Chain A
Amino acid sequence: MTTDEKITQLEEYIVAYQGAHYRLAYSYVKNQQNALDIVQDAIVKALRSIHRLEEIAYLHTWFYRILMNTAIDYLRRHKRMIPSDDALFAREQSTPANPDLHMDLWEALNQLSVEQKTIIILRFFEDMKLQDIAKVLDLNVNTVKARLYATLKKLRIQMEEYHE
C-alpha cells in the first residue's frame, strides 16, 4: 500500500471516529478546548508518521496510541494550567441530567492514571479487545490483564466507598 493510500484510509478513519477520539481525549483532560487541541495534535502527528505504519490493519490501535501519547505529553506540558479541581470542572462542562450518576464516572476516573483510564475506557466503554489494548499500550496481553484487574479492584473499592 502506498503512503498516499494510507493517508486516504487514515483521513476516512479520523472523520468516522472523531467522536470516540474526542471522548477519550476529554476523559484525560476534562476540558473541551484541551480535548480539541489533543485531537488536532494527534491527527497531525498521525498523518506525519503514517508512512511508518506497516500494517494498515493496526490503524485503529496505532491511532489510539498516538492519541494517548499526545494526551500524556499535553498533560505534562500544561500541568499547572489545568484546573486542579477538575471533577468540579467536568460537572460544569457537561451538566448531566442525573448529577449523582455522573459523579460515578468522573469520581472513579479521577483516581486513575492515564494508563488505567485508557484500559478501563477502551475495554468497557469502547469494547476493545484486550489484545488490541495491549497494542495501544505497547504491553503484552497478560500485563494488560493484570493491570485491568488491579484497576477494577481499585475502582470497586472506591465505588463501594462512594455508595456507603
Chain B
Amino acid sequence: MNNLQNMKQQYHDIPLPKELSDAVQHALHQNRSKKSWYRPLLLTAVAILALFIGSINLSSSFANQLASVPLMSSVVEVFSVQDIERNYGDTEVAVSKPVITGFNDKQFEQILNEKYEEENRELFKSTSTEKGRISLDRQAVVLTDTENVLSIARYTTVTQGGSAQSIAIDNIDPHNEWVITLPSLFKDNTYIPAISSYIYAQIEQREDRLYFTDEEGSITFNTIDANQTFSITKDGQLTIYFDEYTIAAGAAGIVEFTIPTDVIKPSLMSNYYIK
C-alpha cells in the first residue's frame, strides 16, 4: 500500500496549467450562448407528454400502457416501451416503441411489433453515422382507441442544429385485425384531389404565412400523396398530417388538417370508419 500512497502523492502533484481556469470558463461560456439548442427539444418533449397525459396515467414503470380496447374475444392493448437510450459523446438518443398485444392473429401482431422495432433500428443507424452533436427522440402515442380504429402514432424529433419533427401513423382495425390504408377507405382516386383542394383552401385562409410559397407568392402545396399520413378520430373524422418542413416553415411543426366528411363523401367506400 506504500506504493499506492506514493502514487497518490504523485497524482496530486500533477501540476495544474495556468490555462485551466480560462479553458473551464470558456467552456462554460460557450454553452451559455448555445443554450437555445436544447430548449426547443425540451419544449417538444413537454408537448408530447401533454398528448400522453390526456389519455393515460403516466407511470414511471418500464412499459406505459397507451391504450386498452376491450373486444368480444380479447383485449387489445398498446404499450410504450423504452427501446434505445444512449447518452454518449455528441449523441443523445431516447427512442420508444409501441408494443401491441391481444390480437387473435399472432402473426399479424408480430409483423406490426417487428415493424416498430425495425423502424427504430433504422432510425438509430442513420443517426449514429452522423457527425457532430445530434439528438434523436421518438415517442409512441395512441391517437384513437375505439373498437373500430386504433391509431398508433410515432413522433420522431431529430435535433441537429435545427430540429425536424416527423410523424408516422398506423391505423389498425382491432376488431377485424387489419391495417386501414388511406386508399382502402375510398372507391377510387377521387379522394386525392378532393382532400388536396380542401387543404389548399385552408392554407389560403390561414393568415400565419408559415406555409411555403414560390417566388410569385403562390402556395407551393399541390397535392397529398395517395398514402399520406392520416388518422381517424374517435368521432370518425379523417385527419391528414404533414411532417415539419414539408409544406410549412419549421415554426408550424407537424401540420394537421381535419377533413370534414362532406368533402370526401362522394369518394367514400362506406361510412364504417369515416362518419
State whether these chains interact: yes
Interface of A (DSSP majority class): helix
Known: A105-B7, A125-B12. A18 touches B28 (CB 8 A): no
Interface of chain B, main secondary structure:
helix
Q: Least Cβ distance of A122 to chain B in Å?
A: 11
Q: Does A32 contact B (CB under 8 A)?
A: yes
Interface string of B9-21 (1 = CB under 8 A from A): 1111111110111
Of B84-92, B211-219, B228-236, the segment with at least 4 beta carbons within 8 Å of chain A is B84-92
**Is B11's CB under 8 angstroms from A36's CB?**
no
Q: Which of B28-44 contact A (CB under 8 A)?
A: 28, 30-31, 34, 37-38, 42
CB-contacts of A96-126 with B (<8 A) = 96, 101-102, 104-105, 108, 121, 124-125
Contact B16 A44 (CB under 8 A): no
> Known interface pairs A11-B28, A23-B11, A43-B24. Does A69 touch B89 (Cβ–Cβ under 8 Å)?
yes
Closest chain A residue to B37, Cβ basis: A48
With a 10 A CB-CB cut-off, give which of B26, B31, B92 has the most chain A CB atoms: B31
Cα of A40 to Cα of B62 in the assembled complex, Å = 35
Decide yes or no whether A15 CB sits under 8 A from chain B. yes
Contact B10 A105, beta carbon cutoff 8 Å: yes
Give Cα A155–Cα B3 distance, bound, in whole angstroms: 10
Residue B50 CB within 8 A of the other chain: no
Given contacts A69-B89, A104-B3, contact A40 B27 (CB under 8 A): yes
Residue of A nearest to B92 (CB): A49
Residue of A nearest to B15 (CB): A94
Chain A residue nearest to B4 in the complex (CB): A124
Given contacts A73-B88, A94-B14, 9 further A-B contacts (CB under 8 A): A18-B21, A22-B20, A23-B16, A27-B14, A39-B23, A43-B31, A47-B31, A49-B38, A125-B12
**B-side interface residues toward A, CB under 8 Å?**
3-4, 6-17, 19-21, 23-24, 26-28, 30-31, 34, 37-38, 42, 87-90, 92, 133
